[in-house]
Amino acid sequence: MTRVDGTPDVALELEDIQAGALYERPSPYVGTYLLLRIVDRTDGRELVRRLHRIANPAGGADSAGATSLTVAFTYRGLEALGVPQESLDTFAPEFRQGMAARAEILGDTGESAPDRWEEPLGTDAVHVAIAVLSSDEEQLAAVAEKARAAQTELPGIELIWKQDCYQLATGRTSFGFKDGIGQPAVEGSGRPATDARERPLRAGEIILGYPDETGELPPMPSPDVLGRNGTYIVFRKLHTRVAAYRSYLRARAATRAEEDLLGAKMVGRWQSGAPLAVSPDADDPELGGDPRRNNDFGFGDDPRGFKCPVGAHARRANPRDALDDEGSVDVRLHRMIRRGTSYGPMLPDGVTEDDGVDRGIVFVFAGAHLRRQFEFVKTQWLNDGIFIGAPLESDPLVGPHHEPGSFTIPQRPIRRKLQDLPPFVTTRGGEYCFAPSLSALRWLAELDT
């Protein structure tokens, strides 16, 4: 097999890559996130040895999404395991600093600032992150039990945080939208693209050790056995202020249909997942639920955003062909694997009073480039509006809105401008992690420093 440009297709070492680093989550899903602290190095290595046995390779029979356990480490975690300093120094600078240290850059200030984060997120105590996701409650329980067992009788390992997640009965996020659409395909992953207009990403955009979109190998931690087939993982617990979101829309809409339209304009998709770019005037649940069609579109025919506003969440997060004529942006350098999941119960339909219950999204990113993928999209496209010629506007749904924000909805004859947007999402914490290959897990378990 060769690519269009003549270079050979890359054969990904799927048996060595953790499934969670490469593939989107199952749907529907249930899951658990665990954070562990390594107090004792020997116990830490024994934990890694046990986790190595139950982590799932992307090439495994189970990789179609039934159940998977993914293991990742923070910089402090690798340090706690005794990874030599000269090796630690070869990791990406953002990873070495950790997410809390990047808070100002990421817009995590005010209510979202690390000093307001949920304990122990953002602290040096977070060493190991484990995600177990399954399409089935029983299988989840079985694998989660294995994960717990891996940690039992290891007094030098502390379970310091646990977060359950599950798909809401509606199959949608707490804001009411179908999500998880729009993943890029990755060369060699064996998964077909859902957007026929987007060539699969070169493997090095997601997995270390392979050429990326620039034609080069992404900077990779050394030794090779530690870096190769690994990927960086970002997780963020994001509290969604659903009542505030609903009452904001209600106050600005005369009818339920207008509420739905305003919400769709903010998101870039209707609640069913149907893209505005394809169905601009009304929701089309059949389109929203059709994986062959709900991601097969561009924005190039709508430069002014009459169908999908240029500032809509989905268009910001992935502008597709909208910036092709800019001469300064290569959208393919800013793609990522997202594995977001919901936590907390749904706010009952129609309720606009806050019930005080914590609900939201655990956002998970996988990619080879923390800075030019996750941080770029967050800082340049979601938190800022320079790139769309609206420096004072940020993402209407997930933008920080430290000052009350605005959002322009292009429409004829006169554009509509939503004013006084409050923050609808608050960061409760998160971390930058590294999900090593299976052989790297073995290498970590056998360290003798």
Residues that bind other proteins (CB under 8 A): 93-94, 97, 101, 213-216, 325-330, 332-333, 371-372, 376, 379-380, 384, 386-391
Which of 215, 422 has the CB closer to other proteins? Answer: 215
Residues 6+ apart with CB under 8 A from 1: 8, 9
CA-CA distance, 324 to 112, in Å (whole number)?
Answer: 33
CB of 296 to other proteins, least distance (A): 23
Q: Which residue has the tokens 């505005």?
A: 276
Residue 339: phi and psi, rounded to 5, are: -130, 50
CB of 235 to other proteins, least distance (A): 21
CB of 354 to other proteins, least distance (A): 35
CA distances from 244 to 116, 392, 405, 421, 423 (A): 20, 22, 14, 10, 9
Name beta bridge partners: 346. Answer: none
Which of 192, 389 has the CB closer to other proteins? Answer: 389
Looking at 107-266, which runs of residues are DSSP E strands?
128-134, 157-166, 231-240
CA-CA distance, 129 to 33, in Å (whole number)?
Answer: 7
Q: What is the DSSP letter of 218?
A: P
CA-CA distance, 389 to 392, in Å (whole number)?
Answer: 9
Q: What is the DSSP letter of 353?
A: S
Q: Which residue has the tokens 């997995």?
A: 207
CA distances from 158 to 55, 116, 380, 397 (A): 19, 23, 37, 36
CB of 199 to other proteins, least distance (A): 14
Which of 2, 328 has the CB closer to other proteins? Answer: 328
CB of 368 to other proteins, least distance (A): 12
The single-letter code of the amino acid at 310 is: V
**3-class secondary-structure state, position 148:** helix
- The token duo for 330 is 């290569």
CB of 187 to other proteins, least distance (A): 16
Which of 193, 333 has the CB closer to other proteins? Answer: 333
Which of 166, 376 has the CB closer to other proteins? Answer: 376
Q: How many CA atoms does the CB half-sphere of 126 hold within 13 Å?
A: 27
CB of 422 to other proteins, least distance (A): 23
CB of 412 to other proteins, least distance (A): 15
Which of 388, 421 has the CB closer to other proteins? Answer: 388
CA-CA distance, 52 to 47, in Å (whole number)?
Answer: 8
- The token duo for 165 is 């997640």
Name beta bridge partners: 159. Answer: 36
Which of 181, 336 has the CB closer to other proteins? Answer: 336
**Which among 245, 405, 174, 408 has a CA at the least distance from the CA of 312?**
408
Which of 92, 144 has the CB closer to other proteins? Answer: 92
CB of 339 to other proteins, least distance (A): 24
Which of 137, 330 has the CB closer to other proteins? Answer: 330
